[in-house]
Structure 1
Amino acid sequence: MRKIKKKYKAAYAPMDDLVTYRALPTREVEYIDPFLFLNHHGPQVYKSNNRGLPFGPHPHRGFETLTFILEGDIMHQDTGGGKDVIEAGGVQWMTAGSGLIHAEVSSDKFKKEGGPLEILQLWFNLPARYKMTQPKYVGLQKDQIPTVTEDEGKVKVNVISGKWRDTEGPIPSLSDIHMASIELQQGGSFTTTVAAERNIFFYVVRGAVKVNGETAEKLTLVEFENEGNELKVEAQENSYILFGHAQPFNEPVVSHGPFVMNTEEEIHDAFRDYQAGKMGSWQ
């Protein structure tokens, strides 16, 4: 069994009228290499004729984002040519790489009609050799994500990247990051193995689960030691978790706002390139 190192409660960090909990980074935990950042927006209900999500055009370089749309929607646009609206149950994976400008806002329909909203965005680092890779965007609706059921249907695994059992995720990861979202009915359980040298990402979005004998409730990030390889998870109530794992890069992490690089000089270069229009111009 993997030993649990520590459990961290996400910090309440609202953005205007958007309910937000930040699981990474907080005062207690900076990052779990290569998992850098997690914002959990909602759950909340927007009234009709609302302003929607506040994430207008902004640049990124040096990392990747994975956005889970549990309720509501996101209209994405970027200077690399990506543009779509992803609805509840879908995901967006963006490789910022050498840099782009993008916006993540609510659709006109959601702003007009309102409704429930719950969205999570996770940032992965890119290793130094891929920091300046070509930007890329993939948006998948719910029906484009393969699912694996376990425990007589009480557990549903939505496979996004890497593999779960024999099912391959539809998004190839440059750095072999395995990611899934897992829905569990009360009493449902599963067991999986992760090589001891790989770091695990485990965040409880909803409900409460027992993982390797310890309870983790909603809004909790669980950090594991790099000892043992088995995880046993049982839902104490209907639950939803984000689960992933990756080989740590063990490289310097220097971040400033929207850029994540390996040195201060590379951060300065990113700001200069953005100001010079090398990340594209917003139309």
Structure 2
Amino acid sequence: MTLRSIKKIHGSEYRPIADLITYSPMPTRSLDMIDPFLFLNHHGFQTYPANNRGLPFGPHPHRGMETVTFILEGDIMHKDSSGHESVIEAGGVQYMTAGKGLIHAEVSSSEFKKKGGDLEILQLWLNLPAAKKMVSPQYVGLQKEEIPTLELDEGKVKIQQLFGEWSGVSGAFEGNFPVSLSTIYLDQGGEFEKEIPAAENIFFYIVRGKVNVNGQSVPFRNLVEFSNEGSTLKVQAEEDSVVILGHALPFNEPVVAQGPFVMNTEQQIYEAYQDYQNGKFGSWNG
């Protein structure tokens, strides 16, 4: 057993969006991306009053990437130009492949806007390999009870397995490239170990609480960047905690990102804007 060495710990930058509390650990001035993990926004925790405006993410386009949205508190109503529509509640997860292009909106349900309540939501962007940038858009939204889970350390560690496999439990979603992604809920004192091939990049973000990872104490709203030396993660919760853990082989491909589009060349970005303006991302009926 060789512990994976920690390269750097990255704090989140505060980036509020209207009245939505938002922190982002990636990209920042200290970290561009962890290939193929591109971007993370952490919204909340906050409590909305009754008769609120809810989430501010009205219709907007995407191309060349995927989103995984974690709903810890509150809800999200998703609608897109491919005809998908759902309301996912606390504990649920959304997976959307933008591929060749779509328009979508992510707003709060009418019930949440009327009644208010707690809200904490994270959105992670995954890159798509060059060969799959222009796949057809897809969307799957799953409620908490529809997501496979496993327990470790006598129930003190509960894992939602989203992509890939962990101890014989297969993830809820079928991805466009090999990736493992989990939401991990740890009671204070709960611990786990996981072997991850040294060639794979690790995405490790502490959503709540404080954990000790490979001998280093890290509080919430921090992202741990690992080197590619060693293969073991050893994690113990110093407080009740929530962690997002992902790992995958890097693509090692050029990344050109501009606004909502993530492609491999500047020309492809130009084409994305042209296609969007020419109505090739589908029609929006709000």
TM-score scaled by length of structure 1: 1.00
Paired residue for 2:23, among 14, 21, 27? 21
Partner Cα separation in structure 2 for residue 14 and residue 159 of structure 1:
30
Paired residue for 2:127, among 116, 125, 128? 125
Partner Cα separation in structure 1 for residue 145 and residue 6 of structure 2:
34
Partner Cα separation in structure 1 for residue 24 and residue 111 of structure 2:
27
Which residue of the partner structure matches residue 101 of structure 2? 99
Which residue of the partner structure matches residue 85 of structure 1? 87
Paired residue for 1:9, among 8, 11, 19? 11
User: Residue 269 of structure 1: CA displacement?
Assistant: 0.2
Which residue of the partner structure matches residue 206 of structure 1? 208
Letter in structure 2 aligned against 1:274? Y
What does 1:186-205 align with in structure 2 at a 5 Å threshold?
A: 186-205=188-207
Partner Cα separation in structure 1 for residue 219 and residue 209 of structure 2:
6
1:162 aligns with 2:184: no
Q: Give ranges in structure 1 of 5+ residues lacking alignment.
A: none
Q: Secondary structure at the match of 2:270?
A: helix
- Identity percentage of aligned residues: 61
> Aligned Cα RMSD in Å?
0.4
Partner Cα separation in structure 1 for residue 219 and residue 22 of structure 2:
17
User: Residue 82 of structure 1: CA displacement?
Assistant: 1.0
Partner Cα separation in structure 2 for residue 267 and residue 42 of structure 1:
31
Partner Cα separation in structure 2 for residue 102 and residue 193 of structure 1:
37
Which residue of the partner structure matches residue 115 of structure 1? 117
Q: Secondary structure at the match of 2:54?
A: coil
Q: Secondary structure at the match of 2:40?
A: strand
Q: Secondary structure at the match of 1:272?
A: helix
Which residue of the partner structure matches residue 147 of structure 1? 149
User: Residue 173 of structure 1: CA displacement?
Assistant: 1.0
Partner Cα separation in structure 1 for residue 137 and residue 167 of structure 2:
30
Which residue of the partner structure matches residue 280 of structure 2? 278
Which residue of the partner structure matches residue 181 of structure 2? 179
1:222 aligns with 2:249: no
Letter in structure 2 aligned against 1:127? P
Partner Cα separation in structure 2 for residue 245 and residue 220 of structure 1:
17
User: Residue 174 of structure 1: CA displacement?
Assistant: 1.0
Partner Cα separation in structure 1 for residue 179 and residue 62 of structure 2:
20
Which residue of the partner structure matches residue 37 of structure 1? 39
Partner Cα separation in structure 1 for residue 38 and residue 272 of structure 2:
18
User: Residue 165 of structure 1: CA displacement?
Assistant: 1.1
User: Residue 177 of structure 1: CA displacement?
Assistant: 1.3
Q: Secondary structure at the match of 1:17?
A: coil
Moved more, 164-173 or 59-68: 164-173
Deviations 1:163-219, CA, capped at 9 Å, x for gaps: 111000020111111100000000000000100000000000000000000011000
Letter in structure 2 aligned against 1:78? D
Deviations 1:126-161, CA, capped at 9 Å, x for gaps: 000000001000000000011110000000011011
Partner Cα separation in structure 1 for residue 60 and residue 207 of structure 2:
26
Which residue of the partner structure matches residue 248 of structure 1? 250
Partner Cα separation in structure 2 for residue 242 and residue 18 of structure 1:
21
User: Residue 23 of structure 1: CA displacement?
Assistant: 1.2
Letter in structure 2 aligned against 1:125? N
Partner Cα separation in structure 2 for residue 261 and residue 153 of structure 1:
42
Letter in structure 2 aligned against 1:129? A
Deviations 1:22-61, CA, capped at 9 Å, x for gaps: 1110010000000000000000000000000000000000
User: Residue 229 of structure 1: CA displacement?
Assistant: 0.5
Paired residue for 2:62, among 57, 60, 63? 60
Partner Cα separation in structure 2 for residue 97 and residue 115 of structure 1:
34
Q: Secondary structure at the match of 1:98?
A: coil
* Structure 1 runs of 4+ with >2 Å offset: none
Deviations 1:88-123, CA, capped at 9 Å, x for gaps: 000000000000000000000000000000000000
Letter in structure 1 aligned against 2:206? V
